[in-house]
Amino acid sequence: MNWKAHVKACIFDLDGVIVDTAKYHFQAWRNLAKGFGFSFDETFNEKLKGVSRADSLTLILDVAGIELSQEDFNNALIKKNYEYLGLIQDMDKREILPGVLRYLTILVKNEIPLALGSASKNARSILETLELLDFFDFISDGNSVKKGKPHPETFLACSKYFGLDPSECIVFEDSIKGIKAAKNGGFQSVGIGNKETLSLAEDCYLGFDGKHPQQLSSLFNQTTS
């Protein structure tokens, strides 16, 4: 099957798909929560993946049973982002996840339009740091989107930009909320990570190493047969 006949556009999440910044978000949130006398583990962290900065803090405070004034809430967001930016300040393109650069290069060579669909307000500067900005035709991120994942707005902005139906676009996501956002918007999705965690996705890869976009044909075989 000619994969290019089906794959009209690809939409990539950033944190946990293109680069392993997810671990830095986790570290920064955990340190902030520690300051409130609350600790959380990787299982709880799954709930924060793909969630905006403010919504992540609300989730943490709810579970910790802590109430903050608006001013303290805003200061906590600044503090978390300050620590996060410190953790990623020495990051460079060596931190691009294995196989990603090759995969993006194949897509671009085959003239498949690419978009970034990330909850992060730092997305554009991270792509610049990784020297990946030129791969993307459109960026939908935490600065442009009002309704975060699992609402599909992040991805719908991308399909709208390309003038495509969501069903013609493939979303690559590492978070449960991101996969739900793809589903809610009518997109095909490939989970990046654990199959059990991302069971709602049409397909799941542990990563992009050894993967080729022609394998995306299997998504369309499933839906057309």
Query: Mask of contacts with ligand B16, 168-187, x by CB under 6 A?
Result: -------x------------
Q: Determine if 174 is a binding residue for Mg ion (CB under 5 A).
A: yes
15 noted as active-site residue: yes
Residues from 68 through 97 that contact ligand B16 (CB under 6 A)? 81
**Cβ closer to ligand B16: 159 or 175?**
175
165 noted as active-site residue: no
Do residues 114 and 9 make contact, with C-beta atoms less than 8 angstroms apart? yes
Binding site for ligand B16 (CB under 6 A): 13-16, 22, 25, 48-53, 56, 81, 118-122, 142, 175
Binding site for Mg ion (CB under 5 A): 13, 15-16, 50, 174-175
Positions marked active-site: 13, 15
